[in-house]
Amino acid sequence: EMCVQELNQIFGESDRPATFADTLEMKFLERCLLEALRMYPPVPVIARKLQEDVKLVSKNCTVPKGATIIIATTITHRLEQYWDNPDVFNPDNHLPEKAAERHFYSFIPFSAGPRSCV
């Protein structure tokens, strides 16, 4: 319903095609799309082969060069340390002030960094 209200504010009774400028006004719709990507990421698992040894300070161990690292975005996107009520659809998770508080890699629906898909 809030998406419909937002679109009605932008378009009113007009049946004109959406412009790029219109899409920039669709803040709530954008947050809904981001939240859908968080809950159901299109890339559920990311695999990377280490190019060098990596020391994990938190586990006091080293992962050797050549090892394959698996990142499960489906798990990352539901960690309570980053998301309040992670199993509940909440577009407000993607308000700018909330996103600024989270770790950069807590939301990676298409991977992230130099090998990101998008």
Domain hosting residue 65, numbered range: 2-112
Instruction: Report d(CA 12, CA 25) in Å as an integer.
Output: 14
pLDDT for position 118: 62
> Is 118 inside a domain boundary?
no
Number of independent structural domains in the chain: 1
Instruction: Report d(CA 31, CA 37) in Å as an integer.
Output: 10
pLDDT for position 83: 96
* Model pTM score: 0.85
> Is 53 inside a domain boundary?
yes
Between residues 99 and 117, which one has the greater pLDDT? 99
> Is 117 inside a domain boundary?
no
**Annotated binding residue 61:** no
Cβ-contact 43, 35 below 8 angstroms = no
The per-residue pLDDT for range 26-42, each reduced to its tens digit, is 999 999 999 999 999 99
Token pair, residue 84, equals 């309040």
